[in-house]
Amino acid sequence: MTQNIRKAIQFVHRGEVITLDAFSPRRTVLDWLREDMRLTGTKEGCAEGDCGACTAVVGRLKDGQLVYQPVNTCILLLGQLDGAELITVDDLAQDGVLHPVQAAMVAHHGSQCGFCTPGIVMSLFALYHEDMRPVTREAVCDALAGNLCRCTGYRPIIDAAMDACATGAADSFMAARATTQAGLAALAGPDDVLVGDESSFFAIPRSTDGLARLCLAQPDATLLAGATDVGLWLTKGLMELHKIIWLGRIEGFGAIEATADTLRIGAGASHADAHAHLAAIDPDLGEVIRRFGSAQVRASGTVGGNIANGSPIGDLAPCLIALGGTVELRRGAEVRTVPLEDFFIAYRKQDRRPSEFVAAVTVPKLRPGQQFRAFKVSKRFDEDISAVMGAFRLTVDGGHITEARIAFGGMAATPKRATRTEQALKGISLADEEGWRAAFDAIATEFQPLTDQRATASYRSIIARNLLLKALMEIAGSDGTRLVDRASTPHRHSGAAQRSPEPVAEPT
Partner 1 sequence: MNIRSIPGSPLEPLRHVHQPLVHDSATRHVQGTAAYIDDLREPEGTLHIACGLSPVARGALKGMDLDAVRRFPGVVAVFTSADVPGSNDVSPSIGGDPMLAEGRVMFHGQVLFAVAATTRDAARRAARLAKVEIEAETPVVSVDDAGRDGEKVLPDYAFERGDIEAALAASPHRINGMFRIGGQEHFYLEGQAAFAIPKEDGEILVHSSTQHPTEVQHVVAKVLGLPDAFVICEVRRMGGGFGGKESQATQWAAIAALAAHKLKRPCKIRLDRDDDFATTGKRHDMRADYRIGFDDAGRITAYDVDYLTRCGCSADLSQGVVDRAMFHSDSSYWLPVTRINTRRLLTNTVSNTAFRGFGGPQGMLMAERMIDEIAWASGRDPLDVRYANLYREGEDITPYGQKVSELGTMHALIRQLEATADYRARRKDIAAFNAASRIIKRGLALTPVKFGISFTLKQLNQAGALVHVYQDGSIQLNHGGTEMGQGLYQKVAQVVAEEFGVDMARVRITATTTEKVPNTGPTAASSGTDLNARAALNAAMTIKARMADHAASLWNCAAGDISFRDDRVFHGNDSMGFGELSKKAHLDRVQLSATGFYATPGITWDRAAKKGSPFLYFSFGAACAEVEIDTLTGENRLRRVDILHDVGKSLNPAIDIGQIEGGFVQGMGWLTTEELVFDAKGKLLTHAPATYKIPVASDLPADFRVALFPNTNRADVVYASKAVGEPPVMLANAVFCALADAVHALAPGTRVPLDAPATPEAILRACEAVQGRAMGGER
Residues 217-276 that bind partner 1 (CB under 8 A): 236, 238
Which residues within the stretch 66-95 sit at the binding site for partner 1 (CB under 8 A)?
Answer: 88-90, 92-93
> Out of 8, 115, 429, 433, which residue is the one contacting partner 1 (CB under 8 A)?
115
> Out of 76, 84, 165, 385, which residue is the one contacting partner 1 (CB under 8 A)?
385
Closest approach, Cβ 30 to partner 1, in A, equals 11
| Residue 171 binds to partner 1 (criterion: CB under 8 A) | no
Closest approach, Cβ 135 to partner 1, in A, equals 13
**Which stretches within 264-407 are classed as H helix?**
271-281, 283-290, 295-300, 303-309, 316-322, 340-343
> Out of 15, 65, 109, 178, which residue is the one contacting partner 1 (CB under 8 A)?
109
281 Cβ partners below 8 Å, 6+ apart? Answer: 263, 323, 363, 365, 366, 372
Alpha-carbon span 171 to 176, nearest angstrom: 9
In terms of CB distance, is 63 or 240 closer to partner 1? 240
Contact 395, 404 (CB under 8 A): yes
In terms of CB distance, is 133 or 236 closer to partner 1? 236
In terms of CB distance, is 179 or 458 closer to partner 1? 458
> Out of 118, 226, 268, 325, which residue is the one contacting partner 1 (CB under 8 A)?
118
In terms of CB distance, is 80 or 111 closer to partner 1? 111
| Residue 6 binds to partner 1 (criterion: CB under 8 A) | no
In terms of CB distance, is 105 or 504 closer to partner 1? 105
| Residue 40 binds to partner 1 (criterion: CB under 8 A) | yes
Burial degree of 162 (CB within 10 A; 0-12, 13-18, 19+): middle
Which residues within the stretch 141-170 sit at the binding site for partner 1 (CB under 8 A)?
Answer: 141-142, 144-145, 147-158
For residue 346, the 8-state DSSP code is E
> Out of 126, 140, 279, 307, which residue is the one contacting partner 1 (CB under 8 A)?
140
Which residues within the stretch 479-508 sit at the binding site for partner 1 (CB under 8 A)?
Answer: 480-484
In terms of CB distance, is 111 or 208 closer to partner 1? 111
| Residue 41 binds to partner 1 (criterion: CB under 8 A) | yes
> Out of 1, 20, 76, 116, which residue is the one contacting partner 1 (CB under 8 A)?
116
In terms of CB distance, is 90 or 251 closer to partner 1? 90
| Residue 112 binds to partner 1 (criterion: CB under 8 A) | yes
In terms of CB distance, is 324 or 490 closer to partner 1? 490
- Name residue 288's amino acid: V
**Which stretches within 301-359 are classed as H helix?**
303-309, 316-322, 340-343
Contact 323, 281 (CB under 8 A): yes
| Residue 50 binds to partner 1 (criterion: CB under 8 A) | yes
Candidate segments 8-16, 37-45, 404-412, 434-442, binder of partner 1 by CB under 8 A: 37-45
Alpha-carbon span 23 to 9, nearest angstrom: 10
Contact 496, 64 (CB under 8 A): no
Report the candidate in 374, 359, 275 with the shortest Cα–Cα distance to residue 320.
Answer: 374
Closest approach, Cβ 351 to partner 1, in A, equals 27
Number of residues that bind partner 1 (CB under 8 A): 89
| Residue 398 binds to partner 1 (criterion: CB under 8 A) | no
Among positive and negative, which fits the CA dihedral 227, 230, 234, 239? negative
For residue 98, the 8-state DSSP code is P
| Residue 107 binds to partner 1 (criterion: CB under 8 A) | yes
Write down how long the chain is. Answer: 508
Dihedral, 125, 129, 130, 135 alpha carbons, nearest 10: 70
In terms of CB distance, is 70 or 210 closer to partner 1? 70
Which residues within the stretch 459-478 sit at the binding site for partner 1 (CB under 8 A)?
Answer: 459, 462-463, 466-467, 469-470, 473, 478
Alpha-carbon span 491 to 504, nearest angstrom: 20
Q: Which strands, in side-by-side order, build the sheet including 400-409?
A: 370-377, 388-397, 400-409, 416-417
What are the Cα distances from residue 264, in Å, to 21, 341, 364, 419?
Answer: 36, 17, 9, 25
**Extended strands (E) in 410-483:** 416-417
| Residue 370 binds to partner 1 (criterion: CB under 8 A) | no
Which residues within the stretch 433-462 sit at the binding site for partner 1 (CB under 8 A)?
Answer: 451-459, 462
| Residue 136 binds to partner 1 (criterion: CB under 8 A) | no
Contact 231, 49 (CB under 8 A): yes
> Out of 9, 12, 25, 43, which residue is the one contacting partner 1 (CB under 8 A)?
43
